[in-house]
Structure 1
Amino acid sequence: MKSKINLSLFFLVLLMTVHLSAQKQPNIILIMADDMGYSDIGCYGGEIKTPNLDGLANNGVRFTQFYNNSRCCPTRAALLTGLYPHQAGVGGMVGHGHGDLSKNAVTIAEALKINGYATYMTGKWHVADSSTKDDIHNWPIQRGFDKFFGTIKGAGSYFDPHTLTYNNDFVQLKPKDNFYYTDAISDSTVTFIDKHFKEKPNRPFFFYVAYTAPHWPLHALPKDIAKYQGVFDKGWDALRKERLQRMKRLGVISSNAQLSPRSPRAKAWEEVEDKDWELQRMMTYAAMIDNMDQGIGRIIEKLKGEGAFDNTLILFLSDNGGCAEQLEGVERWVNNREISITLDGKKVTPGNQSKHMAGPATSYMSYGPSWANLSNAPYRRFKKSGHEGGVVTPFIVHWPKGITMKNAINNDLSSIIDVMPTLVEISSASYPLEYNGNKIKPMEGVSLMPTVKGKRLDRDEWFMEHGRNKAYRKGDWKIAWSREKDGQEWELFNLKDDPTELNNLAALYPEKHKVMKDRWYDWAKEVKVIQK
């Protein structure tokens, strides 16, 4: 009897082993929002309707202490390579001679492609110094993607975006196209997935979906704006308080967190004169995120229709915190055509002028520091800063076949450099030491897979620098230096006791302050922030 039981057990284990070995590598979809604050989407406490992202969060894992690099292109470079931005060649802003994706780094697409994955991208690239056909060596197709539809530049009109590209060729739009960029990103993603399953049904795919929403300019469809009539009428002061309470109930912030004071760059809501204009700006911003969520819903439905949803790892995050930029001198940053004339020949009025309403192609504005202060609630500061308002991002992980936890909250210290090693692990890929004849830097991050299996992440450090803004975290302790006029000193915080960085402890703990500063400078030399 005993030998029969052992024999049955042997065959059961053998069958399980064969089944596991026959399982396909998971598909991977990495989705990034642009200039979206930590608490904007519903599952992180916001008022904006995001049922599809909320569904992923409710059936997956939400991270509460996941860090980006505070601005678009440095974050994207680190995300794509698993390196710190300066190591990846993009410590500064590309397009100004200050950054270009390094040949000594491989992208996720390059690493997975050599391990059998089909690779696709839609949306914003923004890690190549050149945006003209004269030099395309760092465009998506040249950096590992089989197909690409999106923009090379970092910002632009949603109705007629500059550098709109299919593979390596610029796309010329016509008025009859009724083009809206967020919809185009979503629909192209669905089209690429559809073609993949028709042509390569047995190959796994990696898809990088890089939305520009809700980055300025505030362009949205009227039907989406209409949904938010009355939603923000209480104003940013009351809404920030309400968000904090929802966030505590959801568990995406510590129960002891206090609301940071209103930014000195923001007025009290009761002092605002043109409330209708201000409300239109926030309604438009919300509509942009809403439309993105609708598109994510279409992507999810396509995966389900192909029977691929359960074995597709979906990751979602934002590249930095809410953006306080006022667009003064915007003509220095963007293509002149976008701020002069629409695709159908109408005059564009650039800048935050209250005589014009946000939303249509004839406008070109941002939502400013007051609403950005709501987007980042309850944290301090904005995009570009190393303080929490600039660098902490929602991060959602969903993979039914690989993650059994549902509606889970993870508080481990983690960051964008951890995405590459995570994807290398779950895809069973090998990370190259050499690529195209170039020596490749080892990954700096660690795989997040232990965290989604209920274990703790074996690391407690995170570093950041961009545009002279600096930060370093070790365990519960963090230092940050801001280039803003009310900053320009190293502050020290204990985030366990003070999650929103309200109490500078530098004078109370001078030795801790010094040790952490010294560690940041050592790291800065290692990764070439500071040249030795």
Structure 2
Amino acid sequence: MNWLLSFRTRLLLLLAFVAMIPVSSHAAEKPKQPNIILILADDLGFSDLGCYGGEISTPHIDALAADGVKFTQVYNSARCCPSRASLMTGLYPTQAGIGDFTTNKPDKNRGQGYLGRLRDDCVTIAEVLKPAGYGCYYVGKWHMHPDTGPIKRGFDEFYGYTRDHSHDQYDADYYIRLPEAHPKEIDPPVDEFYATDEFNQYALEFIRQGQQTDKPWFLFLGHSSPHFPVQAPAERADKYDAIYQRGWDVLRTARYERMKKLGIIDGDRWSLTPRSMVPVDRDDIANGFPGDENPAWDSLDADRQADLARRMAVFAAMVEGVDTGVGQIVDHLQQTDDLHNTLILFLSDNGACYEWGPFGFDGVSRRGETILRTGDELREIGGRGTHQSYGSAWANLGNTPLRMYKHFTNEGGINTPFIAHWPAGIQKRDDWIRQPAHLMDVLPTLMDVAGAQYPQQFDGRSIQPTEGTSLMPAIRGEQLPERIIGFDHQAAHALRDGDWKIVFGKRMPYELKWELYNLADDRCETNDLAAKHPERLESMIEAWETWANRVGVTWTTVVPPNEVSADAVDSPPIANQELKLNADVRGASLHGVVIAQGGNQHGYALHFVDGRPAFDVRVNGQVQRLISDQNVSGRVRLEATLTADTMTLAVNRGEPLKTTSPGLIPVQPVDGLSIGFDHRSAAGDYQSPNPLSGELIKHSIATYKANSILTKE
């Protein structure tokens, strides 16, 4: 018996000793899946956050950056809904179905890339994470079309809005809870409602709901702040008045110097660019500065300065409201012991928004002259029922020191601040991660940390392979795979290949052509190397076209004409004038606008309909069309004329088609001249922008009166 007890004792001691031996890494328990929070700001500029050099108070976001990692070259898709589509699916916008904007009337000739909603052959973050065991929640702005809304595309709970790009922050009835059977858990009195605050509170509500389950959870917090209308309670904006009364010139220089100290600006490779130009548009839209540089602050009178300073103060208060919500979320996670194993990502959907000119707009219609508010009216800016923007010059500040803004594929339009914080999985880094990345990399990154698998089939449908790549190697200090990154947004194009980038602009008062930059030496695109490296330029243009064809982009390339031709930004006077239009076009499958001037009341358009040349003239809202029965391709010569009695259209110098004219265009159209697409309301019988699917080689426009040329191109 003593021997038996001794044996048992020795056996227990041995088992206890074995239990103390560390298990090998191969046999270790799989790490627990992290909770995930993705916070997306709307129209936040590259340098608006304090941790990126801005003067806006963002202490909670700054703290995430200080204890996590931060990137300097994460790209977006130049505008809110294409960027969201890319972020949500791991694809380029056209592959996701939202190549330029959401719409209820997609142009069938542009293909699946321009459905204006999410395609059926892609999957969302929620549709990928749910099979991996995640509960999925969405708060805020959706903007990927209500027909492919959050509940339909994998999310369990939603609060926010699914229609349109923006809305009044004080309009409580506009914001909805989905699924529809679920009542609102948070429903403040109408006079206390402010959307940014409610989004923050619903983020906390959904986090609590996720924590009550036995599953990891994913929260997408898609703020509409600080997108216009710039709105915030007046007392929140007051603290910023004195700051912004210093003006954008002083503040741009101050941001630039802070960015140097923070290490964002790498040596001499970043130059503070001149003030960016105001895009060419109607004079009222551009506030009298179409094609001009944004004005110097000191050139403005005191009343204008006060009005503009208040607009920017309201914008800053919106950004601070987003930061307040981040602080509330972090505090809750700390109190519930979930911060350590929660991955938090913070980013923006595009560069700061220029709309419209340096004075912005005022009023829901956004038509006509900007209202100048003075005296006691200043504190009304950003109040209930207002609809204002802060304008292109403040947007230029927001993107310091980069060129241009949202809508453009210059660095100022497509760069986002990007912060990742995950104490359990990401080691704090004091440096800046400078490898190029894109919003389409977020989904693969989340798959990487969650152990999720990307499907080849989903709900009985074949799914496109993902385009993005996980950013976890870059976060760990390793190199991402070599690749090109392509960009296209409504006639603005770009391609990034290593340190080299080509970019094609739009709506500028000079000859538009491909530009070439070495971003390793010139991050701010100040030294165009196209003339110095023509072979590299041509090879990268060819690479962009190959990329564009692969991902389903339709575009027009305007080659500088070799004869007298229309300036793509000047709009010839056409009221009561006879017209003569000439254009040479090349393409295999031609569709879309060659030349258009005017809009939905008066104007004309020379265009293609399924390969057939057409000439539309609109008078008093009604369109008269002359269309060829020839389906043409290759190089095509078009000639069209309009007189008081007759419209004609000749194809390849053949016998012209003729029909009765609706008369001369009686007034100068509000909408200006568009080349290769119709950039505002449709002058012809089609849906704008209706871009040309081929190449416009040359074009000319002439107007006549009494058989004498009055205006040329």
- Larger displacement relative to structure 2 (483-492 or 260-269): 483-492
Shift of 1:222: 2.1
Residue 347 of structure 2 is matched in structure 1 by 317
State the match for 1:354 in structure 2.
372
Secondary structure of the structure 2 residue equivalent to 1:30: strand
Q: Deviations over 1:143-181 (max 9, x none)?
A: 000000011121111111674221144999886451101
Please list every run of 5 or more consecutive structure 1 residues that lacks an aligned counterpart in the other structure: 1-6, 332-337, 341-347
Residues 249-276 of structure 1: per-residue CA shift (max 9 Å, x gap) = 1112222111110123311000112211
Contact 1:472–1:516 under 8 Å retained in 2: yes
Letter in 1 for 2:553: V
Alpha-carbon deviations, 1:118-157, whole Å to 9, x = none?
A: 00000000011xx4xxxx4x11000000000011121111
Distance, in Å, in 2 between the alignment partners of 1:13 and 1:387 is 54
Q: Is the 8 A contact 1:413 1:460 kept in 2?
A: no
Match of 1:477 among 492, 500, 508: 500
Q: CA deviation at 1:319?
A: 0.3
Q: Superposed, which structure 2 residues align to 1:120-159 within 5 Å?
A: 120-128=137-145, 131=146, 136=147, 138-153=148-163, 154-159=165-170
Instruction: Give 1:457 deviation, angstroms.
Output: 1.4
Rounded to whole Å, the distance in 2 between the matches of 1:50 and 1:442 is 37
Q: Which has the higher strand share?
A: 2
Which residue in the other structure is 1:391 paired with? Answer: 414
1:105 aligned to which of 111, 122, 132 = 122
Q: CA–CA distance in 1 between the matches of 2:322 and 2:314?
A: 13
Q: Which residue of 2 aligns with 1:417?
A: 440
Give 1:11 shift.
Answer: 6.2
The alignment yields a C-alpha RMSD, in angstroms, of: 2.7
User: Given the alignment, which residue of 160, 168, 184 partners 2:198?
Assistant: 184
- After TM superposition, the structure 1 = structure 2 runs for residues 299-318 of structure 1, keeping only pairs within 5 Å, are 299-318=329-348
Deviates more, 1:413-422 or 1:152-161: 152-161
Q: CA 1:329/1:96 → structure 2, altered by over 3 Å: closer, same or farther?
A: farther
Matched AA of 1:183: D
Q: Distance in 1 between matches of 2:544 and 2:19?
A: 54
For the residues of structure 2 that align with 1:95 and 1:160, how far apart are their CA atoms? 23
Alignment equivalent of 2:537, drawn from 510, 513, 520? 513
Shift of 1:95: 2.9
Distance (Å, rounded) in 2 between the aligned partners of 1:503 and 1:97: 41
Correspondence for 2:676: none
Contact 2:360 2:388 in 1 (8 A): no
Separation of aligned partners in 2, 1:197 and 1:216: 34
- d(CA) in 2 for partners of 1:255, 1:299: 36
Q: Percent identity?
A: 41
1:38 alignment counterpart: 46
Aligned equivalents of 2:298, 2:17: Cα separation in 1: 75
Q: Which residue of 1 aligns with 2:711?
A: none
Identify the match of residue 260 of structure 1 among 262, 269, 273: 273
Say if 1:218 and 1:367, in contact at 8 Å, map to a contact too: yes
**Corresponding position: 1:215 with 2:227:** yes
Q: Which residue of 1 is the match for residue 686 of structure 2?
A: none
Measure, in 1, the Cα distance between the counterparts of 2:271 and 2:542.
30
Q: Does 1:524 align with 2:538?
A: no
Report if the CA contact (8 A) 2:132-2:452 is conserved: yes
Q: Does 1:117 align with 2:129?
A: no
Partner Cα separation in structure 2 for residue 504 and residue 440 of structure 1: 40
Distance 1:97 1:303, change over 3 A: farther
Shifted more, 406-415 versus 181-190: the winner is: 406-415
User: Over alpha carbons, which structure has the higher Rg?
Assistant: 2
Per-residue CA shift, 1:163-209, capped at 9, x if unaligned?
422114499988645110100100001011112222x0x21011110
| One-letter amino acid of the structure 2 residue matched with residue 224 of structure 1 | R
Instruction: Determine the C-alpha separation between the residues in 1 that align with 2:371 and 2:267.
Output: 40
Between the aligned partners of 1:404 and 1:485, the Cα distance in structure 2 is 44
Q: Secondary structure at the match of 1:91?
A: coil
Shift of 1:305: 1.5
Gaps of 5+ in 2: 1-15, 107-115, 279-293, 556-588, 590-713
Contact 1:66 1:414 in 2 (8 A): yes
Larger mean Cα displacement after TM superposition, 36-45 or 97-106: 97-106
Work out the CA distance in 1 between the residues paired with 2:124 and 2:143: 14
Q: Counterpart of 2:158 in structure 1: which amino acid?
A: F
Q: Equivalents in 1 of 2:479, 2:257: separation in Å?
A: 27
State the AA in 2 paired with 1:353. Answer: I
Within 1, Cα distance between the matches of 2:415 and 2:19? 49
Shift in Å, 1:241: 1.1
Paired with 1:401 and 1:175, the residues of 2 have a C-alpha distance of 40
Alpha-carbon distance change, 476 to 225 in structure 1, aligned in 2, over 3 angstroms = same
Distance 2:137 2:94 in 1: 25
Select the residue among 14, 19, 23 that pairs with 1:14. Answer: 23
User: CA deviation digits over 1:464-491, x for unaligned, max 9?
Assistant: 1111111101111100111122462111
Alignment-mate amino acid for residue 500 of structure 1: C
Give the counterpart letter for 1:156 in structure 2.
Answer: H
| Counterpart contact for 1:413–1:459, Cα < 8 Å | no
Q: Say which is worse superposed, 404-413 or 61-70, in terms of deviation.
A: 404-413
Counterpart CA distance in 2 for 1:76 and 1:52 is 24
Query: Which of 169, 176, 188 is residue 165 of structure 1 equivalent to?
Result: 176
The 10-residue stretch of structure 1 (166-175 or 514-523) with the greater mean CA deviation from structure 2: 166-175
CA distance in 2, matches of 1:282, 1:195: 36
Tell me which moved more, 307-316 or 265-274.
265-274
**2:310 corresponds to 1:280:** yes
8 Å contact 1:156–1:162 — kept in the other structure? Answer: no
Give, in angstroms, the shift of residue 410 of structure 1.
Answer: 0.2
Q: Whole-Å Cα distance in 2 between the matches of residues 374 and 68 of structure 1?
A: 19
Per the TM alignment, residue 456 of structure 1 is displaced from its structure 2 partner at its CA by 1.6
SS class of match (1:316): strand
Provide the C-alpha distance between the structure 2 equivalents of 1:115 and 1:324, rounded to a whole number of angstroms: 41
- Cα drift, residue 433 of structure 1: 0.7
Shift of 1:230: 1.2
**Secondary structure of 1:314 counterpart:** strand
Specify the code of the residue in structure 2 equivalent to 1:297: G
The secondary structure found in structure 1 opposite 2:502 is strand
Tell me the SS of whatever aligns to 1:315. Answer: strand
Aligned residues: 505
- Report the equivalent of 1:89: 97
- For the 8 Å contact 2:170–2:385, the answer to whether it is kept is no
User: Any conservation in 1 of the 2:79–2:350 contact (CA below 8 Å)?
Assistant: yes
Q: Do the aligned residues in 2 keep the contact of 1:89 with 1:101 (CA within 8 Å)?
A: yes
1:467 to 485, 490, 502: 490
* SS state at 2:46 partner: coil
Give me the whole-angstrom Cα distance separating, in 1, the residues matched to 2:223 and 2:372: 27
Q: TM-score, normalised by structure 1?
A: 0.90
Cα-to-partner distance string for 1:445-473 (whole Å, 9 max, x where unaligned) = 11101111111212242111111111101
Post-superposition CA distance 1:80-122 (Å, at most 9, x none):
0000000000102103534110110000011001111000000
Partner of 1:95, secondary structure, is coil
Aligned to 1:228: 240
Cα displacement (A) at 1:522: 0.1
- SS of the counterpart of 1:35? coil
Which of these residues, 480, 494, 498, is aligned with residue 522 of structure 2? 498
Structure 2 residue 258 is matched with structure 1 residue 250? no
Instruction: Quote how far apart the aligned CAs of 1:18 are.
Output: 6.3
Q: Is the 8 A contact 1:476 1:494 kept in 2?
A: yes
Matches of 1:279 and 1:350 in 2, distance apart?
21
User: For 1:514, what is the secondary structure of its paired residue?
Assistant: helix
The match for 1:431 among 436, 442, 454 is 454
Aligned to 1:49: 57
- Contact 1:417 / 1:445 at 8 angstroms: preserved in 2? yes
Offset at 1:359?
1.6
